Amino acid sequence: YNPNAQIEKRIAEFVRGALGGHVMTSDMLHSAAITDAGMTRQTVLEVDKAGFSPKTLERAVSSVEGVGDELLQMIHQTWGRI
C-alpha cells in the first residue's frame, strides 16, 4: 500500500485496529519497481537493476524482505520451531 495516501493509511489503521494480531505488521508498499517486475513476470530481486533508481529498488526489496521474514517467522511459530 502507499502510506503517503491518507485513505490507504486510514484503511490500514482500521484493519489493524479491528483485527489486531491477525494482521501482519510488515507493510507491502506500492512501488514502481514491484509493478514493473510483475509486468515481466519477475520478482523485484530478479529485475535488471539498471532500470530503477537505487533508492526505489532498495525500498521495494526492503518491503518484500520484511513481509517475507514476517511470514517465515509465522510459519516457524506454527510449526513450533520458535
Which pLDDT value is given to residue 13?
Answer: 93
**For the segment 29-78, what is each residue's pLDDT rounded down to a tens digit?**
999 899 999 999 999 999 998 989 999 999 999 999 999 999 999 999 99
CA distance readout (Å), 49 to 14, 15, 35: 36, 34, 14
**For the segment 2-28, what is each residue's pLDDT rounded down to a tens digit?**
989 999 999 999 999 999 989 999 999
Do the Cβ atoms of 7 and 43 come closer than 8 Å? no
DSSP reduced 3-state for 32: helix
DSSP reduced 3-state for 80: coil
Is the pLDDT reported for residue 82 higher than 80?
A: no
Q: How far apart are CA 38 and CA 59, in angstroms?
A: 16
pTM equals 0.82
